[in-house]
Amino acid sequence: MEEDPGKSGSGGGGAEGIINLKPNSSMPISYHPSFGPHEDLLLLEVDEKLLPHILHQRVTVRGECDEEAVLCTSSTTYAIKFVGNSNSIFLIPPFENSEFTDENGEKGDSCKAAQVLKLASGNMELVEIAPRLGKLKSLLMENPYRSEEDSVDPMEEEEYLERGKMGLYRWEDLVAKVQASDEELRAELKALSAVEINGYWRIVDDEYIDVVLSMLLHNSVLFGWNLTSLNEDEISSVLESDGFSRRISLHNLEVYGNKLDTDMEGKCVWRLDEKRICVHFAKGVLKEGKMKMDRFMEEWVQKIPARMCADFEMLEGEVLVEKLGVETWVRAFSVSSLPLTPADRFAALFREKQKWEMKDLHPYIRDLRVPGVSAEGLLLKYTRRTQPTPGAELIFSAR
């Protein structure tokens, strides 16, 4: 085909030429001097609302080599999916594009042509997903904080690999290993009661935190502290003299209490949370295994500090009640010990117990979040419901 020079009339070539092609004009399209597979060029479909995040360099791609890549903004995680297209998609760069010149530095002979650099076989798209946080707990459990001797001196800067071998992770190590946005990662660290000690994120061993809490409660009796108004400085220095670091005593307050206002002298005041303290002791009582309800309640009430009130309702999502004949038994079964993904969570629940009533099931699934799927949707997908008699409670079992 021959181009009619009279009709060509939009000025330059390249992508600009195509986009701004005027009516009744034409433009040749040819292969670019460096046309080729260009596998390093990727097309990413992006929602307008996400665009500013990317253009302002606020997104990262995360994952390890054997994982499917995710893209994270500061608050959200997206799966990256490749969508194939059987059409031929000709990719045309702008004419003024220094990146793609051939070996001789030429841009091709015709400045009036649009030049196809690559034939794209499809594009990538982003799908919002729940963060993949399951790995975080297992990383932090590699080396839980068991005593003050476990604290690592920040002066001993170790090679990244060495840190990994010791099961110690800094924030940047976690970001590189866990597929979640910064906000989601932070929220999960909080949910796991992890604490940053000397630059490393640690989970404090159950037994050790039990020792710290007991020491705090003993001291509160000894010094007449009010559990609803604890002075952080005073507590830290007393616990320090007992051999506990300030970071650990503060962590203990963070886990079992809430920070009230700072007082007039700028000191932090904490109030211990009745429910969290009670749950802690209930777990301790049930550590040995299941118990008859009466005995459990007796032991539990004995353990908790004076002026605190144990209520069985507090143990929602922490214990299971079982009726065997005339006897009622309780056993520890904590939602925090269960997998985070819906499929694994429901599998674990139905392994524990084949049939669930809604009121029992709810505390074990209410934390599940899947973008675009409601709680009801999850139940429909992963459970079968039966009703023994009309008007009776619904029973959920595995599909």
Partner 1 sequence: MKIEVKCSCGDGNCPEWAIVEIQGMIEVQPCFKDRIQNLEIGILCRTSSEENYTFTVGYHELSGTKMKLKKPYLILKKKRTIFESIPDDDEEEDISKANSPKTETELEVIGIIRHRILFKTRPKPLISKPQVVVNEKKSGPRTVAVPMVE
CB-nearer residue toward partner 1: 120 or 255: 120
Q: Which stretch binds partner 1 (CB under 8 A): 119-127, 130-138, 283-291, 352-360?
A: 119-127
Shortest Cβ distance from residue 160 to partner 1 (Å)? 10
Size of interface with partner 1, in residues (CB under 8 A): 83
Measured distance CA(230)–CA(233) in Å, rounded: 9
CB-nearer residue toward partner 1: 62 or 163: 62
Shortest Cβ distance from residue 382 to partner 1 (Å)? 22
Does residue 174 contact residue 65 with C-beta atoms inside 8 Å? no
Question: Crossing angle for the helix pair 274-285 and 246-256, nearest 10 degrees?
Answer: 100
CB-nearer residue toward partner 1: 79 or 348: 79
* Residue 168, SS3 per DSSP: coil
User: Restricting to residues 59-88, which ones interact with partner 1 according to CB under 8 A?
Assistant: 59-69, 71, 79-88
User: Restricting to residues 11-50, which ones interact with partner 1 according to CB under 8 A?
Assistant: 14-16, 18-19, 21-35, 39-48
Shortest Cβ distance from residue 72 to partner 1 (Å)? 9
CB-nearer residue toward partner 1: 51 or 321: 51
Binding letters toward partner 1, positions 121-160, x by CB under 8 A:
-xxx------------------------------------
CB-nearer residue toward partner 1: 180 or 319: 180
Shortest Cβ distance from residue 263 to partner 1 (Å)? 42
Shortest Cβ distance from residue 33 to partner 1 (Å)? 5
CB-nearer residue toward partner 1: 30 or 193: 30
On the 0-12 / 13-18 / 19+ scale of CB atoms within 10 A, 167 is: middle
Does residue 167 contact residue 137 with C-beta atoms inside 8 Å? no
Whole-number Cα distances in Å, 371 to 77, 192, 209, 342, 348? 10, 22, 35, 12, 22
* Residue 118, SS3 per DSSP: strand
Shortest Cβ distance from residue 195 to partner 1 (Å)? 23
Among 53, 54, 185, 67, residue whose Cα is nearest residue 130: 185
Q: Does 343 bind partner 1 (CB under 8 A)?
A: no
Q: Which two tokens stand for residue 335?
A: 């939602």
CB-nearer residue toward partner 1: 124 or 348: 124
| Greatest Cα-to-Cα distance within the chain, rounded to the nearest angstrom | 99
Measured distance CA(308)–CA(224) in Å, rounded: 15
Whole-number Cα distances in Å, 277 to 214, 250, 382? 10, 16, 34
User: Restricting to residues 154-193, which ones interact with partner 1 according to CB under 8 A?
Assistant: 172, 175-176
Shortest Cβ distance from residue 14 to partner 1 (Å)? 8
